[in-house]
Each structure stands twice: as C-alpha cells, then as structure tokens.
Amino acid sequence: MKLTGAQALIKSLKREGVEVIFGFPGGVVLPIYDCLYDCKAIRHILVRHEQGAAHAADGYARATGKVGVCLATSGPGATNLVTGIANAYMDSIPIVAITGQVRTTVLGKDAFQEADITGITMPITKHNFLLKNSKDVPEVVAEAFHIAGTGRPGPVLIDIPMDVSLGQLDYKPIKSVEIPSYKPTTTGHPLQIKKAAKAIAAAERPVFYVGGGAITSGASPELVELSERTHILVATTLLGKGAIPETHPHSLGMLGMHGTAYANYAVAHCDLLIAVGARFDDRVTGKLDAFAKKAKVIHIDIDPAEIGKTVHVDIPIVGDCRTILRQLLEHVEPRQETEWNEQIMRWRKEYPLQYGSGAALYPQYVIEQIWEVTGGDAIIATGVGQHQMWAAQFYKCRYPRQFLSSGGLGTMGYGLPAGIGAQIGRPDKIVFVIDGDGSIQMNIQEVMTAVMHKVPVKVAIMNNQYLGMVRQWQELFWNRRYSGVDISAQPDFVKLAEAYGAVGMRVEKKSQVADALKKSLEYKDKPVLIDFRIEREENVFPMIPAGQSIEEMMVHRPK
Amino acid sequence: MQHTITTLVENKPGVLARVSGLFARRGFNIESLAVSITEDPTVSRMTIVVEGDDAVLEQITKQLNKLVDVIKVVDYQGIPIVHRELAMIKVNAEPSARAEIMQIVDVFRAKIIDISDKTFTIEVTGSVDKVDAMERLLEAYGIRELVRTGRIAMMRGARTP
C-alpha cells in the first residue's frame, strides 16, 4: 500500500492503540495535521501552549498506564515541549513526542523554525529519532512506543522533517519490534529472591519504601498481600502514593522531606529497608550517611543503574517490581505483628499530621474536604509547591494512578494540563487539580483547552498570594527576607475563569468550602476554578531541611 | 584508577554525541576516546579511557548500557589486553640535530613520514608510556605540533568482548 510518511505515521499510531493526541499545529507538521483532519479514531486535543501538550500526554499516561502522545511543530513548538519531556523523563513516564522538522535538504542550515530538537532532548529522553527516510516511519514509530512503554518507561521523541512526511513509502505494518541492544530484565534472579526472603525472615524492624516503579509495574496487589502477610508497614514516595491504599492500616503515608514523622522515624530506625521501585532521591533521603543507617537494604528496581547509585545496597534485585514481588510471595513466610509495629503506631499517635484548628481557612482543611466530597475516589493532579505537599499529606489515595504530581523535576504548572490529560483518559473519574496561585499561572492558558474540549476538571487554587514554598524557606532559613515571592498582584481568578468560559468561584471561609466543592461536581461539561483564599503564611510540616537528617526534622512550626 | 572500556554501539548518526553527552552530564572524565567501525559494518567500537573508582566505573558501565544504541560494554580492568596509541609529532629538525633525532626514532621503532627543510614529522605507535617517553625526548628540539589518537585495545588470545 502506497502511503505518504504522514499517513503512515497516523496508521502506525492507530496500530499502537493511540486514541488521543495533545498537540499544536505549525508549518512543517501540516502534512500530519491534514491526515488528522479525516482521522476518526484519534482525537486531537488542541492545547494553547506546547508545554501543556507534553504535560497533558504525561497526565494521560500516568492516569491510564498507556503511552501518552503529544505533537508539535519544529523550532519553538519543539522547544516548548522540552520542560514537559524533561518532567516525564525524571518521573519515568512513557510519552511519545512527535515534532515536525524542516526539510532534510535544509537541515543544519538555520532554516526558518529550525531547532536541533534531537540534540536538545538527548539528555532528557530515553531515546530519540531523527527520521531521514519516509520508509522508516512505521518501524520507528513501533520502536518508539516499545522503548517508551517497556523497561523503565520514559519519553521518546520522533523528529519528522516535512519532506519525510510528504514522501511516499510502501507501507507494511510492523508486527513485532526487535532491538538487539535493548533487552530490559524483568524477572528477578532466583538467588537474590531467596536472599531477600531470608533477610525479611531475619529482620526485626523491617519497613517498605515504595516508589513510582510499583505504580508503573502494577505491583499494588502483590505489595498489599506481602505487607499483610508479613505485617511490614509501607511508606511511599510522592510518586508511590496509592501503591497501597493510604486508608490501609499498614500505610505510613509519604516519607521524606515533607513526609509523615512516623514514616521517617520508621525508616530511620529500621534494620531492613525494602525499596521497591524507588531511587533514593535526595528529597527522600536527606543527608545520605544518616539515612536508614542501621538498615540492610534490599533494592528492587528495573533499572540496574539505580542500584548503588546513591546508597549502598546489600541485596539488589533487578527486574519488574510486580514480577519480583510475585516471586517473593512464593518464598516469604508469614510474620506476626511485633513490638516494632507497636513502636511505629506509638510514633503515629504521638506525631500525627496536623494543622490549625481555628476559624481560618487552612489549605489542609480544603484538601480533606475535597477527599470527603469525592469519597477519596478523585484523581488528583497537582502543581509544585506547598499545595502539592499538603495534597500529598492530606489526600489519602485509595488506588494506584490516582495521584499525578511532578516529582523529580518539580515543574510548576504541571497540574492543570496533567489534569486535563488525566480527565480525557479517565472520563469515568472526577479529576481535581490542586494547585497554587503561583503554579496555576504557569499554564493558566490551558483553561481554554479544557473549555473548548468540554473537560470537566475541577481546579482548586490554594491561593495565599505568595510563592509559598519559597516563602516558607525564606521564613525558616533566610531570616524572613521575602525576596521575590509576593504575588498579591494577581488576576481575579473568578473573573478569569469566566472570561475563558469556565465556572469561577471564590471561597474565603471555612464554612463555604464543602458547598463550593459539591457545587463544582455538578458541572459535567466545563471546568470549574475555585479560588480558595487560604491562610497566607501557613507552612508545610513536618519538614526535614534539605540535605539534613531526621534529627533536624521540624514536626511543627519552630517557636 | 584508569580504566579502559570498550563499547560496541550501533553504527548510527548521533551515537557519539549520545555517549560523549552522557559522560559530560554525569560528570565522568574521558581521558581518551577512539571510535571506528568494526568487522561488522553496522557496529562501531568506542574505546574509552576513564579515570574513576569502582563506584564511578559501575555507574559508567550501567549508564552506558542504558543507551538504546549501546550493544555491549566491557571494562578491561583485570583482563589481559594489548593496547596501542598512535602519535604524529612535527618536531624542529635543524641539520645539526637530524642525526640525533633519527637515532631516537630508530630506538623507538618510530618512523619519519615527512621531511621539510626545518622539520621532521614522526609517527610513533605503542603504549601510552612509550608515546609519552618519545614526546619527552623530542621536546628538547621543539615540538611544533602533536596529535595523538587515544588508546585502542583488544583482549589477548582468542577472546573477543
């Protein structure tokens, strides 16, 4: 069958099961957009800035487990994707980014809207391709999806010059992908499994430390079973939220810089740390030589390069988390609750997450109310900052792929486009974007995308008129010199929402919170923005200052 | 400690940039790098000399292995190898010094491959130490230009990576 490169691209995307593309057109992607015009199987979501397309593809991927796809033109279109690609790379999220490129005949000659996007994205993609021949389109698309979605997932970029889109090829569907130099290990080494099972049996104070890899691999059922069988409690990272229901008695919530005190105490005092799909990020470990220093470490991860990268590992097991937990379930004997479980429970009682009980509008209260009105079932997407940490602390996730947040890169502005992508992938769920007044403004233009495509995301803005997390650091470590953080000069978010054709609401009192949230759920075909005027100088606690140990943990605001 | 790593990669455009970019952004130091095709035209070989302790080397080999275009990585540490480097040295050669220089060339089993009225261009092949020693001896006459290839290496005996 004779097709153009662009037609072959769309056909190949359909073969990969792509149902939606987040994109923005431009000159050199016109051949591709022309094909999309007639394509019924793939929905095109027109964003308002390419960064939004990359984040939406990322949010879609996190919420559904499928590979997300975004599309942009060459030059500025492509460079606008860069932050979104880097974000997906840091959090190991499978997206395929397709960019147009100037014709091969002028490549490298500084043509109009030319940017070396494969060069630019080399350090922030799992792999990328610059197509030179139309005939390679089907194979490269198949390889891109294979690489993005398998092993440790990540973003893959395909750069397609315009003459490659226009050129003809004899299309043959790609049945299977074989890349000799790419063979991720999935099954854990049996000997290591036995060693790990032995270590678990011998441990007195074991604890699980579970990250995004457990979500990616779908290891939740196995994790819960293993935890219930052994009575080993589970702390998760930001990206691991939902790997075990946070309403489960074995869940310790999040650990790390703003994690629960009891999760951090458990890790600090454990004698066996079982890391599952987590990479010992500095926001988790703090000061490295003080982190879990009495513990033997089992590290389960699909990426061999993560083993021993930052901490010494006693029992590494390379492979897919779910497969390995299944293997472990065959060897691990039941354990009873011990004094160690009681100790952790005492810490939990002594140092619960808490916030002010006064009449003021506390952000934590708003988040708890979001949980109440959604029955804890909503998908949550966040920006980056204080609101993100409050959401992580107070929205107890019930299931995996429920909490979408920019972990590694810490990208302000991630929440809204990610929420849109998630809502499109999961129309059956309520999607709440919990955002800050600073973060939301980084991609506020995507409200228009949500309105245009009738995406009913709810956006709860925790508005303290500050870049709050930076202000918190200035308060605690920079002598309250609030440099560059006052953003009280800001739009009226209610009017702004209305100007976009969305619903806008404002909440200034505690008593209005539940009603406003309930009302927001009534809108099924348009987004709702709620401007919560929260306590201005509320801080996120507990906090372990960057690079320090649990000894320096501030459970509450210092007196 | 200095390690010699051999890396077999797909012979595709951009692979060298992927490998060198990886070294740069992860903070690994390349002492020398030699790239060429192999007996299989679809495969290139990079011989990389790096400085680092065991932990650094472990990261280097693991991170290299993660690149989709990298087929195989072998650290030659502890493996008997033969290794060579080639240098071309353009050295001042006044008539009065020519005999001496030719003697040095002879001792090192090097070759004079170009002559002008004021210079010799000398080709020397050997271990890094040998090339270093040659360079030191010729410094006395004034080296005008020097180019070295970086190390290439193979396992001794019948073994291949």
Residue B159 lies in a domain: no
In a domain, B119, yes or no: yes
Domain range for A508 is: 363-541
Q: Are residues B66 and B97 in the same domain?
A: no
Picking from B9, B18, B66, the nearest residue to A122 by CB comes out as B18
Are B54 and B88 part of one and the same domain? no
- Give the number of other Cβ atoms within 10 Å of residue A480's Cβ: 10
Give the count of alpha carbons within 13 A of A244, CB side only: 26
What is the model's pLDDT at position A14?
Answer: 98
CA gap A532, A522 in Å, rounded: 18
Contact by Cβ (8 Å): A232, A276: no
Cis status of the peptide bond prior to A153, with omega within 30 of 0: no
Report chain B residues whose CB lies below 8 A from the CB of A136. none
Query: With an 8 Å Cβ cutoff, are B58 and A181 in contact?
Result: no
Give the pLDDT band of residue A557 (cuts 50, 70, 90).
Answer: confident
A290: domain CATH number is 3.40.50.1220
Judged by CB atoms closer than 8 Å, whether chains meet at A305 and B65 is answered as yes
Question: A332 and A424 share a domain?
Answer: no
Min CA distance, A317 vs chain B (Å)? 15
For residue B142, pLDDT beyond 80? yes
Q: How far is CA A330 from the centre of its chain?
A: 31
Which CATH number goes with the domain that contains B95? 3.30.70.1150
A504-538 burial, b for 16+ CB within 10 Å, e for fewer? bbbbeeeeebeebbeebeeeeebbbbbbbbbbeeb
Residues of A in contact with B10 (CB under 8 A): 181
- CA A290 remoteness from chain centre: 28
Q: Do B66 and B96 lie in a common domain?
A: no
Beta carbons within 8 Å of A208's beta carbon, 6+ residues apart? A223, A227, A232, A233, A234, A235, A274, A276
Q: Tell me, yes or no, whether B161 lies in a domain.
A: no
Q: Reduce the DSSP state of residue B34 to 3 states and report it.
A: strand
Are A444 and A503 found together in one domain? yes
Nearest to A181 among B22, B63, B71 (CB): B71
For residues A49 and A103, membership in a common domain is answered with yes
Among B10, B41, B75, which residue terminates a domain? B75
Q: Is A186 exposed, middle or buried (0-12, 13-18, 19+ CB in 10 A)?
A: middle
Let me know if residue B130 belongs to a domain. Answer: yes
Q: How confident is the model at residue A552 (pLDDT cuts 50, 70, 90)?
A: very high
Å between B151 CA and nearest CA of chain A: 25
pLDDT on residue B161: 86
Residue A183 lies in a domain: no
One domain for residues B128 and B95: yes
For residue A153, the domain's CATH number is: 3.40.50.970
DSSP string, A344-392: HHHHHHHS------SSS--HHHHHHHHHHHTTT-SEEEE-SSHHHHHHH
Residue A208: which of A230, A236, A229 has the closest Cα?
A236
B148 lies in some domain = yes
pLDDT above 90 as % of chain A: 98
Do A497 and A413 share a structural domain? Answer: yes
Is residue B97 in a domain?
yes
In a domain, A559, yes or no: no
**What token pair was written down for A331?**
């060897």
Mean pLDDT for the stretch of residues B67-90: 96
Handedness of CA A282, A287, A289, A291 (dihedral sign): negative
Interfacial A residues in 247-306 facing B (CB < 8 Å):
303-305
Please provide the DSSP assignment of A12-31 as one string.
HHHHTT--EEEE---GGGHH
Whether A357 is covered by a domain: the verdict is no
Separation in Å, CA of B45 to nearest CA in chain A: 14
Nearest by CB: B21 against A123, A182, A307: A123
Contact A303 B66 (CB under 8 A): yes
Would residue B158 count as lying in a domain?
Answer: no
Closest CA to A506 of A478, A488, A532: A532
Domain total for chain A?
3
Question: Which residues, 6 or more positions from A140, have their beta carbon under 8 angstroms from its beta carbon?
Answer: A129, A131, A158
Among residues A462, A476, A460, the alpha carbon closest in space to that of A517 is found at A460
The residues on B that touch A, with CB distances below 8 Å, are: 9-10, 13-14, 17-18, 21-22, 25, 55, 58-59, 62-63, 65-71
- Domain check: are A136 and A272 in the same one? no
**Among A453, A450, A195, A434, which Cα is nearest to A328's?**
A195
Q: Are A226 and A325 in contact (CB under 8 A)?
A: yes
Task: From A350, A381, A413, give the residue that closes a domain.
Answer: A350
- Residue B152 CA to residue B85 CA, distance in Å, equals 6
Query: Residue A220 corresponds to which tokens in the numbers above?
Result: 């939740």
Among B75, B94, B109, the domain-final residue is B75
- Are A310 and A375 in a shared domain? no
State residue A559's pLDDT score.
66
CB of A184 within 8 Å of any CB in chain B? no
Q: What is the pLDDT of residue B1?
A: 86
Query: What's the pLDDT at A556?
Result: 85
In a domain, A182, yes or no: no
Q: What is the mean pLDDT of residues B2-15?
A: 94
pLDDT band at B48 (very low <50, low <70, confident <90, very high): very high
Q: Is A179 within the bounds of a domain? A: no
Number of C-beta neighbours around residue A546 at 10 A = 12
The letter for the amino acid at A370 is I
A130 part of contact set with chain B, CB < 8 Å: yes
When pLDDT is averaged across residues A542-551 and rounded to a whole number, the result is 93
- Do A304 and B65 make contact, defined as CB atoms within 8 angstroms? yes
Exposure b/e, A22-34, CB count within 10 A at least 16 = b:
bbbbbebbbbbbe
Do A165 and A201 share a domain, yes or no? Answer: no
Q: A113 and A195, same structural domain?
A: no
Least confident of A40-49, A396-405, A493-502, B21-30: B21-30
Q: How far apart are CA B40 and CA B11, in angstroms?
A: 9
Whether A202 and chain B come into contact, CB under 8 Å, resolves to: no
Of A179, A303, A308, nearest to B68 by CB-CB distance is: A179
Check CB contact under 8 Å for A122 and B70: no
Question: Do the Cβ atoms of B14 and A308 come within 8 Å?
Answer: no
- pLDDT over 70 (residue B82): yes
A120 to chain B: which residues are within 8 Å by CB? none
Query: Which chain A residues are within 8 Å of B70, Cβ to Cβ?
Result: 181
Whether B10 shows a pLDDT value over 70: the answer reads yes
Query: Does residue B63 sit in the same domain as residue B98?
Result: no
Number of domains forming the structure of chain B: 2
* Sole residue written with tokens 């809108």: A523
Q: Across chain A, which distance is largest between two alpha carbons, in Å?
A: 75
- In this prediction, residue A521 carries a pLDDT of 98
From chain A residues 489-508, the ones with a CB under 8 A of any chain B CB are: none
At A118-146, the pLDDT tens digits run 999 999 999 999 999 999 999 999 999 99
Domain assignment of residue A547, yes or no: no
Nearest to A181 among B58, B62, B69 (CB): B69
Q: Find the DSSP H helices in A234-299.
A: 261-269, 282-285
CATH number of the domain that residue B18 is part of: 3.30.70.260
On chain A, the residues whose CB falls within 8 A of the CB of B65 are 304-305
Is A119 part of the contact surface with chain B (CB cutoff 8 Å)?
yes
Domain coverage including residue B54: 2-75
Residues A106, A156: one domain?
yes
Question: Mean pLDDT across the stretch A533-546?
Answer: 96
Chain A, chain B: beta-carbon pairs less than 8 Å apart: 37
Question: What pLDDT score does B154 carry?
Answer: 95
Express each pLDDT in A443-465 by its tens digit. 999 999 999 999 999 999 999 99
- Of A308, A324, A350, at which residue does a domain stop? A350
CB contact under 8 A, A305 and B66: yes
For A8, the token pair is: 């072959």
Q: Which of B47, B75, B103 is the last residue of a domain?
A: B75
